[in-house]
Amino acid sequence: MNRKLISALCALVVGLFATTFAVAVEPASSEAAPGPMYAAKCPPSCDFSVKSRDKAEVVAILKEHAKTHHNGMVVTDAQAEGMVMVVEPKK
């Protein structure tokens, strides 16, 4: 009975290891061609910054930050897009 229990536990461990290994390898191959990175930040007195591969997400987060952390400041889409920069990858 103990041998059957130990065999079942070993099989379970091997199965979980194989599944974890397969899942861990999969995302690395899908990141072969990432898009550009966008970033925006507040003045140094605030020290807020945001980065994303989605420009619309950066604009939305920047507008929400201004509204919630700068006394209800309203930033238009055009103003927020003017603050967004494209970050070049480091070589």
pLDDT at 28: 53
Cβ(31)–Cβ(24) below 8 Å: no
Joined together, the tokens standing for residue 4 give: 């059957």
Separation of alpha carbons 30 and 72, rounded Å: 40
Q: What is the pLDDT of residues 43-86, one digit of tens each?
A: 888 889 999 999 999 999 999 999 999 988 898 999 999 999 99
Nearest to 58 by CA among 35, 87, 80: 80
Joined together, the tokens standing for residue 50 give: 């945001």
pLDDT at 19: 64
pLDDT at 82: 93
Q: What is the pLDDT of residues 12-38, one digit of tens each?
A: 777 666 666 555 555 555 555 578 999
pLDDT at 13: 74
